Amino acid sequence: MNITVSRKAHFNAAHKLHVSQWSDEMNKEFFGLCNNPNFHGHNYDLIVSLTGEIDPITGYLIDMKFLGQLIKEEIEDRFDHKNLNLDCEEFKTLNPTTENIAVVIWHLLRKRLKETYTLKVILYETERNFVEYNGN
Ligand code: NI
């Protein structure tokens, strides 16, 4: 029997979306506000979901204190109140789109979790726009 547990998290970060091979005009046209030369911020909401078997002894899928601490260490401490382009190694050459941030987050969490868990992350850049990644 598989069950899924989820934990929400949040971070604020600034970014600029930009394709270096394109002209400034083309970048502005395509990325709009997210191409603002002096960067701009988003309030990112994250939902981390793990699927697996309930431990027959504890009745837990995972200790939520552990999951909360893991998200804090790997994601919030790394990205909260940062400029993703300038402060974060992960985005030195990778455009910090919601898609790319979700993939980076997935890999950061995956390496700290037991292989028996299936991992999915959902990242909201705005209330209406969100991206889902499960490693496939
Ligand atoms: Ni933006």
Could you give the CA distance from residue 13 to residue 10 in angstroms, rounded to a whole number?
Answer: 10
Distances (CA, A) of 37 to 12, 29, 42, 91, 92: 18, 13, 15, 16, 16
Predicted pLDDT at 45: 98
Q: Report which of 136, 128, 134, 112 is spatially closest to residue 45, judged by C-alpha positions.
A: 128
Q: Residue 130: is it exposed, middle or buried by C-beta count within 10 angstroms (0-12/13-18/19+)? A: middle
Could you give the CA distance from residue 97 to residue 57 in angstroms, rounded to a whole number?
Answer: 41
Residue 52 C-alpha to ligand 1 middle, in angstroms? Answer: 34
Residue 123 C-alpha to ligand 1 middle, in angstroms? Answer: 13
Sign of the CA dihedral with 85 first, then 91, 93, and 95 last:
negative
Which residue out of 15, 42, 88, 125 is catalytically annotated? 125
Which residue out of 34, 42, 88, 90 is catalytically annotated? 34
Expressed as residue numbers, the domain containing 128 is 2-133
With bands split at pLDDT 50, 70 and 90, how would you rate the model's confidence at 128?
Answer: very high
Distances (CA, A) of 61 to 41, 45, 89: 35, 23, 32
34 is catalytic: yes
14: tokens are 């600034």
Which residue out of 29, 53, 73, 81 is catalytically annotated? 81
125 is catalytic: yes
Using one digit for the tens of pLDDT, what is the confidence trace for 26-39? 999 999 999 999 99
Predicted pLDDT at 135: 96
Using one digit for the tens of pLDDT, what is the confidence trace for 49-89? 999 999 999 999 999 999 999 999 999 999 999 999 999 99
CATH code: domain of residue 127 = 3.30.479.10
| pTM recorded for the entire structure | 0.96
Predicted pLDDT at 59: 97
Domain count, the chain: 1
